[in-house]
Homo-oligomer: A and B are copies of this chain.
Amino acid sequence: MTDPLPRRHSTPPRPERRYPDQLYSGWGDPAQAVQLPPAILDLLAKGLGVKTPGHTAPALQDIPVPESRLNQTAARTRIEQLIGAEHVTTTPVARIRHLRGKSTPDLLKLRDGDATDAPDAVVLPGTHGEVQQLLELCSEERIAVTPFGGGTSVVGGLTPQAAQFAAAIALDVRRLNALRALDDESRTATLEPGLRCPEAEELLNARGYTIGHFPQSYEYLTLGGAAAARSSGQASAGYGRFDERVVAIKVATPRGTIELGRAPKSAAGPDLRQLFLGSEGAFGVITELMLEVKPVPAARVYDGWRFESFAAGAEALRALIQDGPVPTVLRLSDEAETALNLARPSEIGAGTARGCLAIVGYEGTAENVAERRERVTEILNDVGARLDAAAGQGWSEGRYRGPYLRDALLDAGALVETLETVTFWSNLRPLYDAVGDALRQSLTEQGTPPVVLCHISHVYPSGASLYFTVAAAQANDPLGQWATAKRAASDAIVNMGGSITHHHGIGIDHREHYAQQVGPLAIGALRAVKAELDPAGIMNPGVLIP
């Protein structure tokens, strides 16, 4: 950012992550893959009727990929001249690793060996200037550009509709990975978008600070992706949503560079940062972010609390977020999720879990944590909840494990996916019922009665999000099976006044319901902005804007 701030620290770019990555097609680190214990396989068979194992993915190098439209073109030469030939690759494995995101349909397609949507090349610019020039070049050459961070989209945010373009590239931001500046007095850090959350935390922790953003995708999510898709983390009650921590952004668009956020808060016109936060790469590429940071907490405590019912737990969460004291982590599983406890597969079916489990966490100074914990404990005891400290610890240890479990369940022949929404407190129960009913009805009608689990994942003074996990036996066409169920759930969400997403974003998958939700004039305004900043329409075409 071109501001007069002191730049107390800055780091050289980090060593590049190994590239291309490993050949494993599932989530994350293959060494951490989950083995389902026999008790669960038994439960899947008896409870859901899972009889046939699912397709497993071929090794990535065995998946056929269409020929790159950039091979031996003048455009490729131009790109290579701009950023260096070593930063442009069209190898099949690299292209597959930048193909789609991590939704269950994305995984199912890969298990079917379908790589038809692979980008024609993976391109890794190293500076803002290179990104800026690359977008101008791609505008001229009619090359679609999909900004690529951690590849964790679960809504089709990495699946542009690029057929009518000359080619499509994934613009991987991993080389933009420096801590550019740290302002101790203002408690802001200027960071590059390709830093994954753990990398950013490592750089900041060493200097005494944290961003405080810990979503389930934490290990892979990049800062740029978190901003572009308005991510929310598990500690959002304490640290806020990611977009709320963004003070300033620098964005390369096909028409040039925009820098917004020269001061923390102001009434200088509409808050235009908000046009780019949540824009999912449809207008440009975020190349620098200034974030509010907080001191690394000296103390972290995560308690489990058991409530008699989901309603009683929700009421308690509402009281805490509205009247305080506000914990750092606040989430509540419904009866079904508590009983199944997917976060601790070793305990599934152990029958230890009753009622509804809430996780109530505190991070801060030792004094502040102790003080809040004491008062919250008093309040929750008063409403009849029961402390279960071990459950809090267990949640904390398994908090990033969910996606690994999904791969194992897909292997076993189960269909597993999540979806989420948000609404006002007064509408929470009707929405919860409507979405659950829609999922149960749709999948039961398809001959695969599901189990539907839900938790309140984020709370605000005026409302809360609902995060659903659905499991059923895979039908013959699991992609079609889920598309039908997902449509039923999405219709229920929009009809019942919920938002089509709380923190997963729009991508391609939610476009239609998003347009229903905001109406044609709002979509028209987005289109007008896109036409202004990206007249050739190369930026992540089809994503967000129908």
Contact = CB atoms under 8 A, between A and B. Distances in A.
A515 B185 CA distance: 28
A526 to B, nearest CB: 7
A504 B426 contact: no
Contacts of A253: 521
Interface in A1-35: 3-6
B422 A266 contact: yes
A448 interface: no
A424 interface: yes
Interface in A93-152: none
A229 B425 CA distance: 29
Interface string A278-289: 111000000000
A426 B183 CA distance: 7
A462 B186 contact: yes
Nearest to A325: B368
Contacts of A175: none
A497 to B, nearest CB: 4
A68 interface: no
A204 to B, nearest CB: 15
A419 interface: no
A85 B14 CA distance: 70
A270 B274 contact: yes
A458 B192 CA distance: 29
Interface stretch (A42-50, A397-405, A474-482, A529-537): A529-537
Contacts of A265: 232, 241, 422, 458, 460, 463, 502
Interface in A223-270: 229-232, 241, 243, 247, 253, 255-260, 262-270
A544 interface: yes
Contacts of A497: 3-5, 262-263
Given A270-B276, A278-B269, A263 B5 contact: no
Contacts of A229: 267
A503 B292 contact: no
Contacts of A423: 263-264
A74 interface: no
Contacts of A390: none
Given A497-B5, A521-B258, A532-B525, A275 B270 contact: yes
A522 B267 contact: no
A267 B155 CA distance: 12
Nearest to A365: B323
A435 interface: no
Task: Identify the interface centre among A272, A276, A424, A430: most chain B CB within 10 Å of its CB.
Answer: A424
A168 interface: no
Contacts of A185: 318, 424-426
7 contacts: A4-B430, A4-B496, A185-B425, A186-B424, A232-B267, A255-B524, A292-B462
List 7 tightest A-B contacts by C-beta distance, closest first: A230-B267, A274-B274, A263-B499, A264-B463, A528-B532, A186-B424, A266-B499
